[in-house]
Amino acid sequence: MAFQSSVNPSQLTQLGQANLTGDTRALYLKLFSGEMFKGFQYNTIARDLIMKRTLKNGRSLQFIYTGRTKSEFHTPGNSILGDSNGAPPVAEKTITIDDLLISSAFVYELDEVLAHYDLRSEISRKIGYALAEKYDRLAFRAIARGARSASPVSATGYVEPGGTQIRVGSTTNDSDAYVAANLVSAFYDAAAAMDEKGVSSDGRVAVLNPRQYYELIQAVGSNGLVNRDVQGTALQSGQGIVEIAGIKIYKSMNIPFLGNYGTAYGGTTGVTAPANTGSFVGQALEDASDASTGINNDYGTAAEITAKSCGLIFQKEAAGMVEAIGPQVQVTSGDVSVIYQGDVMLGRLACGCDYLNPAAAVELYVGETPPSAF
């Protein structure tokens, strides 16, 4: 006689059910949420290096600047009624939220069944990467614009310092951007410039192309890098472990670099590309001025950013990021999932960025002529 047994469906352990009630797959969506945030947080560096504010019930955020005032000796018998010129002068900077930034994918349920790997987890990471990449690119372009700009405070007699542009090397070759000695010299010039402009030494950072970073750490014993005792993965991570002149150094593929994001192989003057460059040859800068669709702040056209910018050095007051909707996750369910036999997975973000204090921004460039303001 064959032995048979049956299990009551109510006795099954439902790993996707919250508190033993409701949708048996409800908790599975949390995997996507966590992966998306990991993908975003692990791949954006600008978010922690500049000023970030949250905006509610509005479309823009106002930042107020106060310029310098002066001191004077008091004349006995004279009343004290404030500076005769009405100092300090006051100016404003407004950062507007750009249109909603999204990254999405449709996951067909049958594909999930047939796939031998976690399909949602993989797609969610890529969604997070896409949002982080755009976030950083816009932030770094805003800093580059600030380095070319004058201070918002421009009252006669009370002019505040503007941004700084520092030439790397002395030739007209783009290869100057990769020479460690040139970069070290530029770092010390940038530190001195910010000191002279009264910029705080707290929160000073640099963001370089990966190949620039690796050129620096190869000469770590002789080129002025601090923390020479740091070795191995810490030194090579590019996460601000090493510093020059009190400036922590990061690497990123998202800074404007010789007209590209990443490394500009193929047309870089004086640079010999590696024997095996692979299929990646850099992504050309896109137009992101306020005339572009979805853009409400001016991040510059590809021509305005130019092909001579090769690194950024800045203090956290150089730019501000205003977020109306932080990185969020939305996933379809219910009738929509039934009709389409799958789910739309969406990551979204509503933010805007612009420079704040130009004196805190330094752009590195190659060639004889500094990039123009825009």
For 27-67+87-365, CATH number out of 3.30.70, 3.90.1690, 3.30.470, 3.40.190 equals 3.90.1690
Residues ≥6 apart with Cβ < 8 Å to 362: 147, 163, 164, 165, 166, 190, 193, 194, 312, 313, 314
Looking at residue 315, its pLDDT comes to 96
d(CA 369, CA 308): 9
- Average pLDDT along the chain, 374 residues, taken 10 residues at a time: 54 66 66 64 84 87 79 80 72 90 88 72 85 94 96 80 96 90 94 95 93 81 55 56 86 91 67 64 84 94 91 96 89 84 90 94 96 94
Where do the structural domains in the chain lie, given as residue ranges? 27-67+87-365
d(CA 139, CA 351): 10
Looking at residue 158, its pLDDT comes to 76
pTM of the model: 0.82
